[in-house]
Structure 1
Amino acid sequence: MDRTALVTGASAGIGEATVKRLLADGYTVYAAARRTDRLLSLAAAGARPVALDLTDDASLVAAVERIGIETGRLDVLVNNAGYGSYGALEDVPVEEARRQFEVNLFGAARLCQLALPMMRAQKRGRIVNVSSIGGKGGEPFGAWYHATKFALEGLSDSLRMELIPFGIDVVVIEPGAIRTEWGGIAHESMLRMSGDTAYGPYARRHAKMFEAAAASKMPSPPEVVADIIGRAVAARRPRTRYAAGGGARMILFLQRFLTDRMQDRLMWRISQANR
């Protein structure tokens, strides 16, 4: 049986690696990104490029309608697209906060709405939502980003229960430190938003922490996450959550035993260690 998958945020990092993994597993894969010029190598590998803007509903509708016309089915939806907008909550304009939610949460939720009629008709399907260890704990200067990931975790849990009667499963992937463009974007936005405000000395130290982490051996290649997504998609009965790469399991393990105040103090010390 031919199987079809849609992967968002496919132009780089985890999304690109996931497209390659699902192609190798025999899927017809629609690789979605805002800039289709960055999908040329995936198209050469056999993927079908899709122009997709998560803040534009017409773009989302057109993408899913195209899949329905061309293949008549959608077996896997990987909601991977997202970005980290950092800066002190006081400094980040609400318009940017809303955009963060549009991309990281509402765009994913809307794709679920559009994909589910096909999946229900098939009486099977799998939705994979790429969250973060940041969906389980906070971090200074990342309030809006972490809020979107906490929300995605709650959405996924509720949706998974709603879909029990229809044979559709929802899986959450919680990456740790991964070597992608994400860190550079978060670093740049933090300095731009808070580097010269009352929070500046602390935001600049946190930015140095990002730099040190990126230069260390801690970040895993995106293929580590893609392989876990591949296993989660193939499993007859997948786990509800998978920790992936870059210290994710260790951090989630520690969160089970540390109080909130202990986690606050530890995270703040790490944040401010680079003077």
Structure 2
Amino acid sequence: MTRTVLVTGASSGLGHRTAQKFLAEGWNVVATLRDPAQWSGEQSDRLLVQTLDIRDEASVAAAMTAATARFGRLDVVINNAGIGLFSVFEATPHTVIEDLFDTNVYGPMRLIRAALPVFEGQGGGRIVNVTSNGATVPLPLQAAYGASKAALTTFSEALAYELASRNVQVKVVEPGFMATTNFFAATYKRFETIPAPEAYLPFVQKQLAAFDVQPPAGYFATEDEVAATVLTAATDHSDLFRFRIGGDTLDGARARQQSDAEYDAWRNTRFMTD
């Protein structure tokens, strides 16, 4: 029996590559995006390109109905859609933060709630939520973004306990920076619309300068590598909950395994500026 996966945020970047990865592996794929005209991948009788705005419950319900009507079942939901935010918190309008959480946290919650009756009706399923290394190690100028991804991670872990008895597994994929996507460019464009107060400018300039420091080749994961990790999480039957990928993510995870004093010394050396 051919398995079916629904991928959110499939218009570009990781979501697009993930949808293509599953399609190449022989899955039925429901590639969802706000504007189906933006789909630029191959066409297939195993592919449904479907409108979905995860901020809108009616849109979520319609996508779920379309997916099951087309393929008869749904085995995996991948919550990939999300937005970044790089800004000084004090200067960030609350409406911007609300939109961030509506997309990064409440959106996955809406989709999961819509998928659960389908999973329960067929005897089980799988949820894979894409978070961020910022959920493990909060990063400068990403307080709100890191909070949204940490919320999604914590929600996912707690939900995994609830759904285990329903034969629904929950996994989290935690990538770091992906230089091969336009996620940072889109995030930086949003940053330019939220001017930093003058008092923060020295700090902001030092943080921006840090982006110019190039790590060793292969340190950051590519979208292909992260898409492969998402596929692994979607097909893994072990008790492993979190799938980390990328040198920056792994460095942060190792730092977190130290004592509190050692971790604080590490993060202060790495991120704090005078």
Q: Fold-level match, TM-score > 0.5?
A: yes
CA distance in 2, matches of 1:246, 1:12: 23
Secondary structure of 1:257's aligned partner:
coil
Does 2:271 correspond to 1:268? yes
Alignment map for 1:110-189 (pairs within 5 Å): 110-179=110-179, 180-189=181-190
> Is contact 1:6-1:29 (8 Å) kept?
yes
Quote the residue 1:90 is aligned against. Answer: 90
> Is contact 1:7-1:15 (8 Å) kept?
yes
Q: Judging changes above 3 Å, is the alpha-carbon distance between structure 1 residues 71 and 217 closer, same or farther for their aligned structure 2 residues?
A: closer
Give CA-to-partner distance per residue, 1:151-184, whole Å, 9 cap, x none. Answer: 0011101110011111110000010121211111
For structure 1, which segment, 52-61 or 102-111, has the greater mean C-alpha deviation from structure 2 after superposition? Answer: 52-61
Does 2:53 correspond to 1:79? no
Q: What's the offset of the Cα at 1:218? A: 3.3
Give CA-to-partner distance per residue, 1:52-91, whole Å, 9 cap, x none. Answer: 1122221111101111222221100000011111111101
Quote the residue 2:7 is aligned against. Answer: 7
Partner amino acid, structure 2, of 1:32 = T
- Provide the aligned C-alpha RMSD in A: 2.2
Give CA-to-partner distance per residue, 1:119-162, whole Å, 9 cap, x none. Answer: 11111211000011111121221011000011001110111001
> Is contact 1:43-1:49 (8 Å) kept?
no
> Is contact 1:22-1:29 (8 Å) kept?
yes
Partner amino acid, structure 2, of 1:70 = R
CA distance in 1, matches of 2:5, 2:105: 20
Quote the residue 1:104 is aligned against. Answer: 104
Secondary structure of 2:11's aligned partner:
coil
CA distance in 1, matches of 2:215, 2:185: 9
For structure 1, which segment, 196-205 or 63-72, has the greater mean C-alpha deviation from structure 2 after superposition? Answer: 196-205
Q: Judging changes above 3 Å, is the alpha-carbon distance between structure 1 residues 247 and 166 closer, same or farther for their aligned structure 2 residues?
A: same
How many residue pairs get aligned? The number is 271
Does 2:191 correspond to 1:190? yes
Q: What's the offset of the Cα at 1:16? A: 1.2
CA distance in 2, matches of 1:199, 1:34: 36
Quote the residue 1:19 is aligned against. Answer: 19
CA distance in 2, matches of 1:140, 1:253: 19
Q: What's the offset of the Cα at 1:206? A: 1.9
CA distance in 2, matches of 1:197, 1:145: 22
**Moved beyond 6 Å, runs of 4+:** none
Secondary structure of 1:193's aligned partner:
coil
Give CA-to-partner distance per residue, 1:94-120, whole Å, 9 cap, x none. Answer: 000000000101000100000011111
Unmatched runs of 5 consecutive residues or more in structure 1: none
Quote the residue 1:228 is aligned against. Answer: 229
What's the TM-score, normalizing by structure 2? 0.91
Identity %: 30
